[in-house]
Amino acid sequence: MPEDNGRFIISRPMAEYIKLSPLGPSAKKLLIALIYLQHLEEDEWPKVVLDKEPIRYEYSDKYLCRHYHTLNTFRTLGFAPKSKSARFLENAIHDLRMKTDLFDVLEVQAGKPTVLVWQFSIYAAVLMSMRRPYALMHTRDIARMKTDLEPGFITLLTLHENMDWPEFSLFKAVLHNRGWEGFRDAPIPDMRGFKPKLKRLLRKWSALKSHEYAAVICQNGERPGVTDVRIRVRHARTKWSENSFYKVCIRDELVKIPKGTNC
């Protein structure tokens, strides 16, 4: 069993999946928690080989077994810590079973103790097999996820924050290779209600991470209205200059969040 230091990997394709999927926030949070718990299992993830023509998966049958954790595990990770029943997981489990093909098994089994049973599918293993680059997540960030934007935002932030010029999209798909047809742009929300929510999100994580953020609300001319929101990240180890960090096209809008801004 791998050492549990609170850190675990989420691959770039899985981070994109979390960002773009129609899952609700509790389902995305549960998915991230189960990726962490899968990391702690002896089998962890199978080694998946993808042939180019046609795409084919190769993996050992000993992997992707069923795993069991008591509900206290999820309370520890920030899921309804005061709840005495399994109801706090019901909506998330329903979402993951109905809207994804990431699990062969995902259910609560009543008993003493009551446990959550999961078995990831081979498709989930394929998403997790491409680990260059990857996000090195920490379990403390799972508990910090409270709103609908945070699961996708924090996985992408962790994926990019140690790059020289970290920048990522909140809504555009960046994986278009054959075999990843499931990645589609996410719907762009109405900006009147979205911008205050975006500012609250960036202020919270600026205070937690001591980052400076610049949110570029993009209009690239391909259709009316906002076409994307891109997040730039600056801290002591990044290489952004002042001009490049705040530079935008004339038709774009910039939202600045200084480092360490309080929520």
Q: How far does the chain reach from its first CA to its final CA, in angstroms?
A: 38
Please tell me the predicted confidence (pLDDT) of residue 61.
56
Inter-residue contact 50 to 179 (CB < 8 Å): yes
60 versus 166: which is more confidently predicted? 166
Give the number of other Cβ atoms within 10 Å of residue 69's Cβ.
Answer: 17
Please tell me the predicted confidence (pLDDT) of residue 214.
96
Q: Which has the closest alpha carbon to 120: 208, 11, 46? A: 46
Report pTM. Answer: 0.89
- Tell me the average pLDDT of the chain: 86
Output the six-digit token pair for 82: 């005061």
Is residue 167 very low, low, confident or very high in pLDDT (cuts 50, 70, 90)?
A: very high
Residues 231-255: pLDDT tens digits?
999 999 999 999 999 999 888 899 9
Please tell me the predicted confidence (pLDDT) of residue 221.
75
E strands, the chain, where?
Answer: 7-11, 49-50, 57-58, 67-70, 103-109, 115-120, 134-138, 167-169, 212-218, 228-234, 253-257
Please tell me the predicted confidence (pLDDT) of residue 174.
81
222 versus 77: which is more confidently predicted? 77
Residues 52-75: pLDDT tens digits?
544 455 555 555 688 999 988 998
